[in-house]
Amino acid sequence: MAAPWRFTALLTLAAMAAAGTASNSSSAADGSRITWSAAVTRICANALLFEEEHQLGNRAGAIAVARDIRASTARRVNRIRALPIRPPQRRLSVRWLALEQRLAAVYARSFVAIYDAIAAAESPQQRDELPEVLRHLLHVPDGLRDKTANLERRLRVPDCTGGGTTDPRIPTMRGGSR
């Protein structure tokens, strides 16, 4: 038997399709209205950068994590795209979803690059240079993360990649808070 929320979602979608309308909010099971932003928040709140367990310590493990980073974000983005509620700012939401997937890809590439940098640091000089190399690799996503954070504020939704926060109370890796 399908979960009750799935049945409710299917009924809502069927009713909207039958009426030939779509709106910025939809009725929840308790009769209250839910906005697109609230529905997205339910999907993305407390998102993890990657969701599966992985064996780390070798390149294959790093690649598996990178694949999971992309897949975890893609699952959440697909759930958002399947919502029966229309976003109030469609163009912004389409752009945001595309940027979230791009950001997940950058996080994934950075994860593998960080592994590679650590694995390649064999000489004393390479190990001495490693902190600066890692600092650079950790900040590769920053520009794109700033763009997505701006859209998240405008759309009133949280980060959906699991790799960042738009909550100003939570410190980021860049120091301070957003």
**pLDDT tens sequence across 90-145:** 999 999 999 999 999 999 999 999 999 999 999 999 999 999 999 999 999 999 99
Assess if residue 47 is contained within a domain: yes
Expressed as residue numbers, the domain containing 29 is: 4-155
Residue 128 placed within a domain: yes
The verdict on residue 178 lying in a domain is no
**Is 59 inside any structural domain?**
yes
- How high is the pLDDT of residue 52? 67
**Residue 170 clears pLDDT 80, i.e. is over it:** no
How does strand 25-27 pair with strand 33-35?
Answer: antiparallel
Residue 77: inside a domain = yes
Number of separate domains in the chain: 1
Q: Is residue 169 part of a domain?
A: no
Residue 67 belongs to a domain: yes
**Is 172 within a domain?**
no
